[in-house]
Amino acid sequence: MAVGFGGSSVFNRASPSSYPRCVAAILRDYATVPRPPARILDVGGTERGFRSKAPGVTVVIANPQKGVGADVDYVSNIGPDVEGFDLAMLFGLIMYLKPEEVAGLLRDVKQRLRGPATVMIAEPDPETGWGWAEIQAKKIVAALGAFPPDRFNFHTKGQATELLRQAGFNRVRERADLIPTFRDSAPLPAPRPAYYVLAAQV
């Protein structure tokens, strides 16, 4: 699957990974392990996204898209000899996957975590007004052919929570404070609070 946005924050304006405030809070809360340095897995990430705002932190990017600075294409291709991760992020990603594909991906991610690790999901929220507007915008841009793929599987917060639980992440917490809002800017102001953000642990 290809998404031709090149990882730019300008084209990804509703994701926490586009905003220094959100990245700093995620690092503070989930990448301070008892045994530093923390290791982060950014699934569907880009080098112009989260990693560019986390200098000095190990952020491994798994993304099959060419030209986004990925270290590996799919999580399932991360070798068994690679050190485990303390935090895995799936931001703006599961909207491209069917529920069974999300379930498989979460199982793959879980196998690559170490210690009391966290997995985070951030997605457009189909149950809020701004989330709905974001989804319509994505559909229109995709239909124009500018932003493939043009097929989505938008998952509600409840559905994402259930998928996390089924994968064994039973402690799921909503982090509304990590949703970008009009207060944030990088390089343009965040348009609206359109995503939900979940953080889960086994």
Ligand X SMILES: C[S@@+](CC[C@H](N)C(=O)[O-])C[C@H]1O[C@@H](n2cnc3c(N)ncnc32)[C@H](O)[C@@H]1O
Q: How far is the CB of 48 from ligand X (least distance, A)?
A: 8
Nearer to ligand X, 1 or 146 (CB): 1
Nearer to ligand X, 93 or 178 (CB): 93
- Tokens for 165? 């639980």
Q: How far is the CB of 11 from ligand X (least distance, A)?
A: 8
Beta carbon nearer to ligand X, 35 or 139: 139
Taking CB atoms, the residue at the shortest distance from ligand X is 44
Q: How far is the CB of 64 from ligand X (least distance, A)?
A: 5
List residues near ligand X by CB under 6 A.
1, 3, 12, 15, 17-18, 43-46, 49, 62-65, 68, 74, 91-93, 96, 105
Task: Select 1 or 115, whichever has its Cβ closest to ligand X.
Answer: 1
- Report the nearest approach of ligand X to the CB of residue 50 (Å): 7
